Amino acid sequence: MKTLVIYLMADPETPALARAAVEGGADIIEIGFPFSDPLADGPVIRRAGERALERGMRTGPCLEVLAQTRELVPGTPLIPMTYSSLLEAYGWERFPAAVKSAGGTSMIVSDLPAGERPEVRRVQLVAPTSTDERIAYAGEQTDGWLYLVALTGTTGAREDLSPALAGLVERARRLVSAPLYAGFGISTPEHARAAAELADGIAVGTRAVQVAEDGPAALQAYVSTLRGALDAV
């Protein structure tokens, strides 16, 4: 059974969208807490973040959305994904505590590589450029599973699955015992299937954010096509 991770930008609609994604077969929901200068994100998620900020989605309201989502999908791991500046402002200790008490399972901080702020427990990321030493270190430090950034670049849909993923999975298998979920550039059922043949799960962000604009029903339908592709592996 492969794991399906779906990313949604924090918005007032997020709880309903998260429930739809879970009904479509998502196992884990990432909730983006938007930041004004998201270095790891391509144009789609950057713009979704800008819109969320315009709607007032600062840290407090994002935590409320997290708590509301927790109520709607009580059994699904929820993982805020954000940037260091929000933690710096809210407090490096206070932020993880607030995430936990709002029902968050862990978190991802896109611009906090393994080794910076080790006291902040989080899902670590590794990339095709990571050395074996760093993959092993991130694997030791990670909280639950390891996020494999499948390509050298920012978030966003791509034509083909990154050819770098196979080598990254092969190295990470050797060095890390935690489950390996691949993300970045995975948007179609074909990508999902090909990535899941290598990794233990996949994460889909950009296309999910786009489809979510058409509402919960559209998102559920899209997620179920990914679920079907994973279940065929």
Show which residues are catalytic. Answer: 30, 41
**Least distance in Å: CB of 158 to another protein?**
11
- What string of DSSP letters covers 211-226? HHTT-HHHHHHHHHHH
Closer Cβ to another protein, 79 or 87, answer by number: 87
Helix boundaries (H) for the chain: 14-24, 43-54, 59-72, 84-90, 94-101, 132-141, 164-175, 189-196, 206-212, 216-231
Binding residues (CB under 8 A) for another protein: these are: 35-40, 42, 46-47, 50, 53, 58-60, 83-90, 110-116, 124-131, 134, 138, 149, 152-154
Number of H helices, E strands in the chain: 10, 8
Query: For residues 180 and 146, is the Cβ–Cβ distance under 8 A?
Result: yes
**Least distance in Å: CB of 89 to another protein?**
3
Query: For residues 98 and 90, is the Cβ–Cβ distance under 8 A?
Result: yes
**Least distance in Å: CB of 15 to another protein?**
21
- Taking residue 223's Cβ as centre, other Cβ atoms within 10 Å add up to 24
Closer Cβ to another protein, 153 or 228, answer by number: 153
b vs e for 87-114, b when ≥16 Cβ sit within 10 Å of the residue's Cβ? beebeeeebbebbeebbbbbbbbbebbb
**Least distance in Å: CB of 193 to another protein?**
25
Going from the C-alpha of 16 to that of each of 26, 69, 130, the distances in angstroms are: 13, 8, 37
Closer Cβ to another protein, 13 or 158, answer by number: 158
3-state helix, strand, coil in the chain (%, to 5): 45, 15, 40
Closer Cβ to another protein, 56 or 215, answer by number: 56
**Least distance in Å: CB of 66 to another protein?**
15
Closer Cβ to another protein, 47 or 214, answer by number: 47
